[in-house]
Amino acid sequence: MGAGPIPQTASPAKRVKQLGIIAALPAEARCLAGKADKTDATLSSPYQLSNHVCLMVAGIGPEQASNAAAALIQQGVDALLSWGCAGAISADVQPGALMLPQTVLSQTAQTQTISPQSTKPRASDTLHTDSAWRTHLSGLLSDSCQPVTGALISSNDIITEPAQKQALCQFSGAVAVDMESATIAKAAQDADIPFMAIRAIADAVDTSIPAYISRGMDIYGNINPASMLGLLLTHPASWLHLMRLGRQFSDAKATLSLVSETLGIDGLLPPNLSD
């Protein structure tokens, strides 16, 4: 046989690094993905926002967040981001404030047992966000908003009353509460990948969330229109309270949209993935 070129072995394609983002509600996801997106049609399934970023709408609560985190980790994501809204439990944060928390606390007790005399969470209940990622995001957002870096606590239950919020603040030292971030943070820790939370404050510390809302919502935040109309017809004063909640939620969504517009989708990546 004559001499010929040495056959070249094809190098394997380099794997694209991925950030997995988890939002509880379609309304929160739309602040990131835009109005003309598929988040309503892809509930509970990962949706690719870019080559490097995929989004999953999990539903409300730690169980749903755990399922979403497990699905994204199984898919091979290299970092997890908890995205959405949180409730203020301190007067130091107001609706529309942006949180990039340094720590996320896991609060496993039932809300009925929370009291100012309760002991603070153990060190094992404290999960940390990625410091380099948090610093990176803070720098990019410093011209558009001033992020709050206090602690975020996750509860198994919706914290509905101002007295509960204040007691939870005293119990934990946190400034805001959600229901998903601690579960996502724990999944990231177990998988040894970076974790970050971006949360905008929706309800103020002195705002109550009526029981008929928490009872009437499904896991995606949808409320049965017929039930709501019946309630408003029999309790007309509820209109004012609902309008206040709506304004505060709108403030939070405006902040999330501002973050998305300022950073762009790939701007959410941690520094080690964006190189």
Residue 88 is assigned to a structural domain of this protein: yes
Residue 245 is assigned to a structural domain of this protein: no
Q: What's the rounded Cα separation, in Å, for the pair 165 and 205?
A: 6
Q: What's the number of CA atoms in the CB half-sphere (13 Å) around residue 52? A: 16
Q: What's the rounded Cα separation, in Å, for the pair 147 and 145?
A: 6
Residue 8 is assigned to a structural domain of this protein: no
* pLDDT for the residue numbered 263: 94
Residue 231 is assigned to a structural domain of this protein: no
In CATH, what number is assigned to the domain containing residue 102? 3.40.50.1580
Closest of 156, 150, 60 to residue 114, by C-alpha:
156
Q: How many domains does the chain have?
A: 1
Residue 84 is assigned to a structural domain of this protein: yes
Residue 214 is assigned to a structural domain of this protein: no
Instruction: Give the ranges where the chain is alpha helix by DSSP (H).
Output: 26-33, 62-75, 131-141, 162-172, 181-191, 211-216, 225-234, 238-263, 271-274
Mention every residue, 6+ apart, whose C-beta is less than 8 A from residue 221.
Answer: 24, 25, 26, 27, 60
Residuewise pLDDT in 10s, the chain (275 residues): 444 443 444 444 445 589 999 999 999 999 987 644 554 545 668 889 999 999 999 999 999 999 999 999 999 999 999 999 999 999 999 999 999 999 999 975 433 344 444 445 554 489 999 999 999 999 999 888 889 999 999 999 888 899 999 999 998 999 999 999 999 999 999 999 999 999 999 999 999 887 777 776 788 888 777 766 766 677 666 667 778 888 999 999 999 999 999 999 999 999 987 65
Residue 129 is assigned to a structural domain of this protein: yes
User: Is residue 151 a contact partner of residue 172, using CB atoms and an 8 Å limit?
Assistant: yes
Residue 163 is assigned to a structural domain of this protein: yes
- Cα 18 to Cα 70, 77, 81, 183, 193: the distances in Å are 15, 5, 11, 20, 11
Tell me the whole-structure pTM to 2 decimals: 0.85
* pLDDT for the residue numbered 223: 76
* Domain that residue 178 falls in: 19-209+251-270
Q: Name the residue with tokens 């997106």.
A: 37
The amino acid at residue 97 is: A
Q: Name the residue with tokens 């404290």.
A: 126
Closest of 243, 204, 166 to residue 85, by C-alpha:
204
Q: How many CB atoms lie within 10 A of CB 105?
A: 25
